[in-house]
Amino acid sequence: EAGVAQSPRYKIIEKRQSVAFWCNPISGHATLYWYQQILGQGPKLLIQFQNNGVVDDSQLPKDRFSAERLKGVDSTLKIQPAKLEDSAVYLCASSDGQQAFFGQGTRLTVV
């Protein structure tokens, strides 16, 4: 069974630039999460989708972050404009209702 796919693996951008991350969840998983993990900390939930609807985006900085999940499958997370404090690993996970499976993440460095 294919796992959660994310791209790119690494991204370096300058502050005030924009960036987008892509996630392809495990086939059939209705729930998709985006987490932000700052070095040395646990993952922080940014947004949770159930199919293509948003379940929870209470911790998403909506002035600069946006996410969508078209057709209830793939998802993209965008940051515009980026700040230095956005440097982190962005993890995508999908769930079968029992357990969450994580992708390898995208390591973002904002300089």
Partner 1 sequence: GQNIDQPTEMTATEGAIVQINCTYQTSGFNGLFWYQQHAGEAPTFLSYNVLDGLEEKGRFSSFLSRSKGYSYLLLKELQMKDSASYLCAVSPNTDKLIFGTGTRLQVFP
Query: Which residues of this protein are in contact with partner 1, per CB under 8 A?
Result: 31, 33, 35, 40-45, 48, 50, 55-56, 91, 93, 95, 97-105
Nearest to 89 by CA among 108, 64, 102: 108
Choose between 17 and 101: whose C-beta lies nearer to partner 1. 101
As measured in angstroms, the least distance from the Cβ of 34 to partner 1 is 12
Measured distance CA(17)–CA(109) in Å, rounded: 12
Minimal distance, residue 107 CB to partner 1, in Å: 8
Q: Which is nearer to partner 1, 17 or 74 (CB)?
A: 74
Nearer to partner 1, 17 or 87 (CB): 87
Closest contact distance (angstroms) between CB of 43 and partner 1 is: 5
Q: Which is nearer to partner 1, 10 or 15 (CB)?
A: 10
Distance, CA of 58 to CA of 76 (rounded, Å): 18
Residue with tokens 């630039």: 17
- 83 and 19 in contact (C-beta within 8 Å)? no
Residue-level length of the chain: 111
The whole-angstrom separation of Cα 106 and Cα 50 is 22
We find the least distance from the C-beta atom of residue 101 to partner 1, in angstroms, to be 7
